[in-house]
Amino acid sequence: MTSYDAKKIIDIHQHLHSDLPSDPALRVKALESLLVEQGLVDPKAIDAWIDLYAEEIGPKRGARVVARAWTDPAYKERLLADGTAAITEFGYQGHATGHVLAVENSDRVHNVVVCTLCSCYPFALLGMSPGWYKSAEYRARIVREPRAVLREFGVDLPENTEIRVWDSTSELRYLVLPQRPAGTEGLDEAALAALVTRNSMIGTDILKARM
């Protein structure tokens, strides 16, 4: 009779699940395959859109806005006064950038963004939203215990730093203007933009100069 090793079966089970994509990913792949099979979608078009958001749009647009604000005081003033108008100067237009308020981090104030109702997000500036941003846990906890949640992201703020949590809606979305990292005085705008992360523009990251 074949022996039954419970531990071995559990190990195999866990290994299989670690190699499989999440259920949403499986559903998306199945839907994509069905649409392609029916001739309703060109797979090359899907790849092109993915590349566009990952490489061209992604967080790179927002990073350019941030870098310009760091290097051009007049632009920074315009950005904080009217985020939508300042962003439009780059030619970035559309619903996701139509109602944007920029909020600036400083030594005294740290801003972080959430959408407690759903997951409104300026994707035209920051690319696709991260999974954690859409999670019920983040949306609930960042409002109740922002300091603890930020600490889990590696953002350990002094107790005297005020944390402001901004709740996005479909009518108003937020862009965090992170502090410019120390030691970057000699960098040009393009080099500065390369330092900016998506999370820093949400408020869950603090930037550091790369060595």
Co-location of 80 and 125 in the same domain: yes
Helices (H), 100-167: 123-126, 131-134, 136-144, 146-152
Tell me if 211 is assigned to some domain: no
Q: Say which of 22, 33, 106, 118 is annotated catalytic.
A: 118
Q: Which of 46-50, 137-141, 198-202 has the lowest mean pLDDT?
A: 46-50
pLDDT in tens, 51-95: 666 556 679 999 999 999 999 999 999 999 999 999 999 988 765
Co-location of 99 and 198 in the same domain: yes
Q: Report pLDDT for 17.
A: 47
Cα angle 156, 162, 163; round to 5: 70
Tell me if 177 is assigned to some domain: yes
Q: Is 170 annotated as a binding residue?
A: no
Does residue 115 carry a catalytic annotation? yes
Co-location of 30 and 86 in the same domain: no
Does residue 129 carry a catalytic annotation? no
Co-location of 28 and 82 in the same domain: no
Co-location of 137 and 190 in the same domain: yes
Q: Which of 7-11, 71-75, 193-197 has the lowest mean pLDDT?
A: 7-11
Co-location of 165 and 193 in the same domain: yes
With H, G, I as helix, E, B as strand and everything else as coil, classify residue 158. Answer: coil
pLDDT in tens, 149-163: 999 999 999 999 999
pLDDT in tens, 29-43: 777 777 778 787 787
Does residue 120 carry a catalytic annotation? yes
Tell me if 19 is assigned to some domain: yes
